[in-house]
Amino acid sequence: MKFLKFTFTSLLIISLSACKKDGKITQTSKDSLTTKNDSVVAPEVHKEFYGIYMGDFAGKGMITSEDGEEYEGNIYKRIALKINRITKDSVYGQSIVDGNQRPFRGIFNEAGKSFILDEPGNDKTDGRFEVKLNSDSLTGNWNAFNKSAVKAPNKTLKLIKKEFVYNPNFMLNENNDLIDWENPKDFVEKYTDEETGKTETYTTSKNRVASDAVFKINASKQKLTEKDLKNLRKLDMEIIKNSVFARHGYSFKKATYRHFFEQTDWYIPVSNNVDSELSPMEKENVALLNRFIKYAEDKYDQFGR
């Protein structure tokens, strides 16, 4: 019996020691975004701080221009920090940037109302958040563990607490930019000089553009028909389809779709899989849209940026 007691104690010490590595607070195998199992052992505190905090995530880094030259500039992103659980000794949650969801674990300083939150460290984009709570806002810094692996290894955060709500009425605003900046395509154009009559060819880059149909068709509220879709552009249908997922808080990895929905004040990414949340009508509309998207064409135009 003494041997068994010693073995269990030793294993417990080893397990606790393994939670720290290189100064980072690491995840154990049973940790999850909700860590329901731990709730039996450690009571939760400060539930009023639970929720989603969203806002700007900015830092200086190297930017590549359209002509291939690199220069230092400000890199801006949007970030969501979701605090799921707080105990006396630990904080659990997740960060969402560019559709990439990473769990974090950390500590809460009650006296200073501040958090130190570490992502696992096994991804090149992982780092440490050091943020301070002030009413419904979080401000502070993030520093990458691997500074050579990311463009802006040190970033500042200015976040506001948001409440996710599904609303089938949510739409893009009519003043939203409807240009897909992420997928330019080169076209060969002809130019004729009026004086000489000589015709020359040149290559110009153009971008996909959506129509105002995206402000009128709501696939979360109306049953779509083939007639509704037959004259739409491919980008129109992609936006209409992904508006369904955006309303349910889907976290888009594709920058094209993030660009459209991050222009709204209602889009809050909360999950990388919302399929089970869709209504039967939404599922039918998405299936119909996918059929038409496969064969649809796009309109391209030239824009400055």
Residue pLDDT, tens place only, 216-226: 999 999 999 99
Burial of 279 (0-12, 13-18, 19+ CB in 10 A): middle
Cα dihedral value 67, 69, 74, 78, nearest 10 = 50
Q: What are phi and psi of 298, to 5 degrees?
A: -110, 160
Superfamily of domain 25-162: Quinohemoprotein amine dehydrogenase alpha subunit, domain 2 (2.40.128.120)
Q: 67-92 b/e with 16+ CB inside 10 Å = b?
A: eeeeeeeebeebbbbbbbbbbeebbb
Q: What are phi and psi of 154, to 5 degrees?
A: -125, 120
What pLDDT does residue 285 have?
98
Q: Average pLDDT of the chain?
A: 87
49-72: average pLDDT = 83
Looking at the chain, the whole-number percentage of residues with pLDDT higher than 90 is 72
15-19: average pLDDT = 40
Confidence of residue 304 (pLDDT cuts 50, 70, 90): low
What pLDDT does residue 209 have?
96
Cβ atoms 108, 121 nearer than 8 A: no
Which tokens hold the place of 283?
């599922």
137-165: average pLDDT = 95
Q: How far is CA 29 from CA 35, 82, 146, 189, in A?
A: 11, 20, 23, 58
What pLDDT does residue 15 have?
39
Say if residue 35's pLDDT is above 60. no
259-265: average pLDDT = 94
Q: 171-196 b/e with 16+ CB inside 10 Å = b?
A: bbeeebebbbeeebeeeeeeeeeeee
Q: How far is CA 291 from CA 41, 51, 217, 247, 250, in A?
A: 50, 37, 17, 21, 21
Domain with CATH 2.40.128.120 in the chain: 25-162
Which tokens hold the place of 99?
């559709």
Closest CA to 176 of 219, 99, 235: 235
